[in-house]
Amino acid sequence: MTLRVFFLLMLCAGLPITASAGDLPTPKQGPVLRIQGSNTIGAALGPALVEGLMREQGLFKVHSETPDKANELRVVGETAQGRRVMVDIAAHGSSTGFTALKNATADLAASSRPIKDSELLALQSLGDLKSPGAEQVIAIDGLAIILHPQNPLNQLNTEQLAQIFSGEVKTWEELGGSGGTIHLYARDDQSGTYDTFKEVVLSRRGKTLNSAAKRFESSEQLSDAVSLDPQGIGFIGLPYVRQAKAVAIVDGQSQAMPPLNSLIATEDYPLSRRLFFYLPPNAKNPWAEALVAFAQSSNGQAIVAANGFIAQTVQAMAVTPNALMPEGYQALSRHAQRLTVNFRFEEGSATLDNKARQDLTRVLDYLQQNQKTNRQVTLVGFGDAKSDPARADLLSKLRAMAVRRELVKSGVVFREIRGFGAEMPVAANSADEGRIKNRRVEVWVY
């Protein structure tokens, strides 16, 4: 998606844009943009996106400067007239980004989890931060569960993870391994990585993190500590596995899934998550708007991939059929390829969520560029388990029809619409988040 197309989309969402590429203000003093929040984003991805935007703006001598304070830096460029242009980035955890927006000490919040209802309420004076223009998914990440490289375990389920990190399971022998007492490593309380793990693993089962866990503000330091401890286990964002060993994860009745790029791109991997920029609608900063647009562009998504995260660029991938798949799905996988995107819906509704709205444009671009708009696309819907299987089948097909309605507006003629009900779950149906992940629509092309 080009910057021009993205600006048009934001205008359609009712969000006026005051800056475009090459036309951003450069005040004589002070930073042009202040970003606060997620360490996962702020450690490398955020600075790389800012540097990319500065170069696109035609600035010279773009580089980063590190102040004395840990997990903070300043990205600097120069105009043709030699004026310094500065962007300050502080990466102390997702929650600090929303606090900084409230205190007017940041223009843009970086978060590795969705905004909480309490934060949304506290920031309502800044506008609706859940609106399509404000809540921007810039990348997909997967929480990797990491062990020492020599640990023989290759697979764990989310119930075991909850028992391990709450301290109920204390030794590797209880998991069928060896090595004695388990040593726990976790991110700090301000971290979106920790918030995500707490929500999808611990809180879902009514558990809390064991107080004996060693806590880290730095992702790199946590990963390196686990890779040096034969008894260690930790959770980390995908780019920070480094020298440690990542294991496959099972959730409910799902298949064991390693943190592979393709499984994270579709958000099927049980511990996948979205990375966000939150742009306050009522507190406009042209550099913040331009950075959001750049992050969604093809150049921005290339930077996402270069930094170890999963870009939202749509690609086709082959799927190997297996006996656990319904026969109709096996047949589809023999003759077609699946796109690396899943459409998901707002909780309790058939309305596409904010990422799905962005993905509509990406999928349409792919179909048009690859001449796939005329009867070469099949939509496949899935849902969560219902007491009446026929109802689950119907709802799964209705979700696929909701996606069809949007793409038909742009001239796509579909080959087939399928619904597989509650088959092939990718998450446990015992919690809202799992049910939401199971309510999905896949796109297949011939």
Same structural domain, 7 and 127: yes
Cα 106 from Cα 36, distance rounded (Å): 6
Domain assignment present for residue 272? The answer is no
Rounded (10°) angle between helices 45-56 and 298-306: 140
Q: Specify whether the CB–CB gap between 160 and 168 falls below 8 A.
A: no
Torsion of CA 91, 96, 99, 103, to 10 degrees: -40
DSSP 404: H
Q: What is the pLDDT of residue 120?
A: 98
Cα 360 from Cα 213, distance rounded (Å): 42
Same structural domain, 149 and 251: yes
Domain assignment present for residue 292? The answer is yes
Looking up tokens 């309502």 gives 124
Q: What is the pLDDT of residue 377?
A: 98
Domain assignment present for residue 269? The answer is no
Looking up tokens 């409230």 gives 102
pLDDT tens-digit map of 216-275: 999 999 999 999 999 999 999 989 999 999 999 999 888 899 998 889 999 999 999 999
Q: What is the pLDDT of residue 395?
A: 87
Q: What is the pLDDT of residue 22?
A: 59
Same structural domain, 159 and 241: yes
Low-confidence ranges of the chain (pLDDT < 50): 2-21
Amino acid letter at 167?
A: G
Cα radius of gyration (the chain): 22
Q: Specify whether the CB–CB gap between 238 and 142 falls below 8 A.
A: yes
Domain count, the chain: 3
Q: Specify whether the CB–CB gap between 154 and 259 falls below 8 A.
A: no
Same structural domain, 323 and 423: yes
Phi, psi of 327 (to 5 degrees): -60, -40
Domain assignment present for residue 274? The answer is no
Cα 404 from Cα 443, distance rounded (Å): 10
Same structural domain, 258 and 295: no
Looking up tokens 């004695």 gives 180
Identify the domain boundary among 234, 263, 292: 263
CATH code for the domain in which residue 21 is found: 3.40.190.10
Domain assignment present for residue 192? The answer is yes
Q: What is the pLDDT of residue 18?
A: 39
pTM score, whole prediction: 0.82
Cα 310 from Cα 43, distance rounded (Å): 16
Domain assignment present for residue 361? The answer is yes
CATH code for the domain in which residue 326 is found: 3.30.1330.60
Same structural domain, 8 and 67: yes
Same structural domain, 326 and 439: yes
Domain assignment present for residue 357? The answer is yes
Surface-to-core class of residue 354, CB atoms within 10 Å of its CB (0-12 exposed, 13-18 middle, 19+ buried): buried
Same structural domain, 101 and 9: yes
Looking up tokens 């998606």 gives 1
Q: Specify whether the CB–CB gap between 278 and 120 falls below 8 A.
A: no
Residue 146's domain comprises 142-263
Same structural domain, 323 and 376: yes
Same structural domain, 320 and 434: yes
Which 3 state secondary structure label does DSSP give 77?
strand
Q: What is the pLDDT of residue 337?
A: 98
Same structural domain, 82 and 159: no
Q: How many CB atoms lie within 10 A of CB 284?
A: 16
Which 3 state secondary structure label does DSSP give 445?
strand
Cα 292 from Cα 217, distance rounded (Å): 25
Give every CB contact of residue 378 below 8 A, 6+ residues apart in sequence. 332, 336, 414, 415, 416, 417, 418, 443, 444, 445, 446
Cα 256 from Cα 54, distance rounded (Å): 42
Report CA 54 to chain centroid distance, whole Å. 24
pLDDT tens-digit map of 238-248: 899 999 999 99
Q: What is the pLDDT of residue 431?
A: 63
Q: Which of 219, 191, 422 is nearest to 326 (CA)?
A: 422
Same structural domain, 130 and 179: no
Cα 280 from Cα 282, distance rounded (Å): 6
Domain assignment present for residue 409? The answer is yes
